[in-house]
């Protein structure tokens, strides 16, 4: 039986390299990378961002989304908004439907050190949309506009918007909506190429990102289905976007943003981590989460560890065990044992790519 042929490596055209060789300018903030790590609720805490930044020192990162109404009623800063003074550039993402609460929350975000404030207008989750936040703002553009105006007035840092192409196939309004956000003062727009009705299903429709890019003068960041360097390059070529944002592709793979950034800067593919390197990273992630959040961190680490454990014989069984880890020591022992087994079986130097042996 012959193995399926390997995809050809991505090529960085001279026109794309030239177009993206300058810093990304978000209002008065300059970012030396065209690749961004997306906000991911339940994932992009301080620990995860620290791991991503190891491989992507210049990239823009986002906190998990923070509820502005919730913030209004608490004095103590929620952990979601904690940022490391050294982690720049960083954006704090907020969600809500109240312009006044969002303006107040934005001021607190800036006081914490946020370089930009991002407003979530794309979240599809019912709990959020039924309260008027996230993607439901696509159906209430006048409120979305009032939000951007109010936040822009309240803070000196650039205000950005992350949204989807529309509520449903019958209600795609990406171009008009994006123009309205720009007119209201947004300094960058990130567009996830799916409708709210799609959730995370089907393909991201990058053609809509191209249309929005053609209509705006502020930077447009393409988002949706960027799972590899190759996808990032194809998306940037097709959409003409000013950068790409990686999301689910980074789950258990904090190397992705750095890999894409390195390729766009050099035209060279960075060596992908071996399964052993991924499990070593899982161990770091577990230890850092425990140090930061204690036992709650161990529970949160379970999903991360299962995402890292992919692409080698025995991965399914290991995932089952990692999903039930109760203590730091248990997790470390499990990962060390798996690493030793992989080293013994020669996987460290195996050249067959994971997708051909995925089990």
Ligand X SMILES: Cc1cc2nc3c(=O)[nH]c(=O)nc-3n(C[C@H](O)[C@H](O)[C@H](O)COP(=O)(O)O)c2cc1C
| CA angle, residues 242, 244, 248, in degrees to nearest 5 | 165
**CA 91 from centroid of its chain's CA atoms:** 12
Among residues 123, 235, 246, 281, the one annotated as catalytic is 123
Interatomic CA distance for residues 18 and 12, integer angstroms? 10
Residues of the binding site for FMN: 93, 162, 192, 247-248
Long-range contacts of 280-283 (CB under 8 A, 24+ apart): 280/339, 281/51, 281/254, 281/255, 281/308, 282/252, 282/308, 282/309, 282/322, 282/335, 283/331, 283/332, 283/335, 283/336, 283/339
Q: Kindly give, in sequence order, each residue whose CB lies less than 8 Å from that of residue 312, ignoring residues fewer than 6 positions away.
A: 275, 342, 347, 354, 357
- Residue 357, CB half-sphere, CA atoms under 13 Å: how many? 13
Residue 244 C-beta: closest distance to ligand X, Å: 9
Told to check if 243 binds ligand X by CB under 6 A, we report: no
47 binds ligand X (CB under 6 A): no
Question: Is residue 303 at the binding interface for ligand X, with CB under 6 A as the rule?
Answer: no
The answer to whether 97 is a known catalytic residue is: no
- Residue count, binding to ligand X (CB under 6 A): 23
**What is the rounded distance in angstroms from the CA atom of residue 215 to the CA atom of residue 85?**
36
Residue 96 or 225 having the CB closest to ligand X: 225
Task: State the minimum distance, in angstroms, from the CB of residue 13 to ligand X.
Answer: 23
Instruction: Provide the annotated binding site.
Output: 93, 162, 192, 247-248
Q: How far is the CB of 330 from ligand X (least distance, A)?
A: 25
- The answer to whether the bond into 89 is cis (omega within 30° of 0) is yes
Candidates 248, 270, 293, 321; binder of ligand X (CB under 6 A) is 248
Residues in region 186-215 near ligand X by CB under 6 A: 192, 200, 204
Q: Does 65 bind ligand X (CB under 6 A)?
A: yes
> Is residue 252 a contact point for ligand X (CB under 6 A)?
no
Binding marks (x or -) toward ligand X, 2..41, rule CB under 6 A?
------------------------------------xxxx
Asked if 275 is part of the footprint of ligand X (rule: CB under 6 A), the reply reads: no
Q: Which of 89, 122, 158, 311 binds ligand X (CB under 6 A)?
A: 122
From residue 124 to residue 153, what is the string marking binding to ligand X with x (rule CB under 6 A)?
------------------------------
DSSP 73-133: T-SSPPGGG---TT--SEEEEEE-S-HHHHHHHHHHHHHHT-SEEEEEE----HHHHTTT-
Q: Where on the chain is the footprint of ligand X (CB under 6 A)?
A: 38-43, 64-65, 93, 120, 122-123, 162, 192, 200, 204, 223-226, 247-249
Active centre residues (catalytic) = 123
């Amino acid at each position: 039986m012959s193995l399926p042929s390997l995809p050809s490596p991505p090529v960085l055209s001279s026109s794309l390299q030239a177009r993206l060789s300058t810093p990304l300018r978000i209002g008065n903030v300059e970012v030396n990378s065209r690749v961004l790590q997306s906000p991911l609720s339940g994932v992009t805490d301080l620990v995860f961002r620290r791991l991503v930044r190891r491989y992507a020192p210049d990239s823009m990162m986002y906190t998990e989304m923070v509820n502005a109404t919730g913030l209004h009623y608490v004095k103590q800063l929620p952990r979601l908004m904690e940022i490391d003074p050294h982690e720049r550039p960083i954006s704090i993402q907020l969600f809500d439907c109240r312009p006044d609460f969002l303006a107040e929350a934005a001021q607190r975000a800036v006081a914490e050190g946020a370089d930009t404030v991002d407003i979530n207008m794309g979240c599809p989750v019912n709990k959020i949309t039924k309260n008027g936040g996230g993607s439901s703002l696509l159906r209430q553009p006048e409120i979305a506009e009032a939000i951007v105006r109010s936040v822009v007035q309240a803070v000196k840092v650039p205000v950005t918007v992350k949204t989807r192409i529309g509520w449903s196939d019958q209600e795609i309004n990406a171009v008009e909506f994006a123009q309205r956000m720009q007119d209201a003062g947004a300094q960058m727009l990130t567009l996830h190429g799916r409708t709210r009705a799609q959730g995370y299903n089907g393909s991201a429709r990058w053609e809509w990102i191209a249309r929005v890019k053609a209509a705006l003068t502020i930077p447009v960041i393409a988002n949706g289905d960027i799972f590899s360097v190759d996808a990032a390059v194809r998306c940037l070529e097709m959409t003409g976007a000013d950068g790409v944002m990686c999301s689910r592709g980074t789950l258990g793979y904090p190397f992705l943003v750095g890999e894409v950034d390195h390729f766009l800067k050099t035209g060279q593919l960075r060596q992908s981590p071996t399964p052993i390197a991924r499990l070593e990273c899982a161990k770091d992630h577990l230890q850092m989460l425990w140090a930061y959040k204690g036992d709650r961190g161990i529970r949160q680490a379970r999903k991360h560890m299962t995402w890292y454990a992919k692409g080698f014989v025995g991965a399914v069984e290991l995932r089952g065990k990692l999903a039930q880890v109760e203590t730091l020591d248990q997790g470390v022992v499990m990962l060390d044992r798996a690493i030793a087994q992989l080293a013994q079986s020669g996987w460290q130097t195996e050249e067959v790519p994971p997708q051909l042996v995925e089990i």
